[in-house]
Amino acid sequence: MIYEFEGKTEREAIEMAAAELGLETDEFDVEIVESQAGGLFKKGKVKIRVHVRDSAGSPGTMAGESDSAADLDREAESEVPDQPERREKAAPDKPLLPNDEFERKMIEWTAEVVTRMGYPAKVTVLFREEKKLGLKIETENTAMVIGKKGKNIDALQLLANVYAGNLGRDDLKIILDSENYRVRREESLVRIAYESAEQVRRTGRSILLEPMNPFERRIIHTTLNDIVDIETKSEGEGLYKQVRVTFRGRK
Model confidence pLDDT, tens digit, residues 101-133: 999 999 999 999 999 999 999 999 999 988 899
Number of domains in the chain: 3
> Would you mind telling me the total number of residues written for the chain in this entry?
251
Domain around 196: 183-247
Q: Is 207 left (phi over 0), alpha (psi -120 to 50) or beta?
A: beta
What burial class does residue 82 get, using C-beta atoms within 10 Å of its C-beta: 0-12 exposed, 13-18 middle, 19+ buried? exposed
Out of 60, 75, 96, a domain closes at 60
Q: Do 201 and 128 fall within a single domain?
A: no
Q: Do 169 and 188 fall within a single domain?
A: no
Q: Do 148 and 189 fall within a single domain?
A: no
- For residue 96, what is the domain's CATH number? 3.30.300.20
Q: What is the pTM of this model?
A: 0.58
Q: Do 204 and 229 fall within a single domain?
A: yes
pLDDT band at 60 (very low <50, low <70, confident <90, very high): very low
Residue 135 lies in a domain: yes
Whole-number percent of the chain with pLDDT over 70: 76
Q: Do 195 and 154 fall within a single domain?
A: no
Q: Do 161 and 194 fall within a single domain?
A: no
Lowest-confidence segment of 47-51, 62-66, 236-240 by average pLDDT: 62-66
Residue 69 lies in a domain: no
Q: Do 215 and 156 fall within a single domain?
A: no
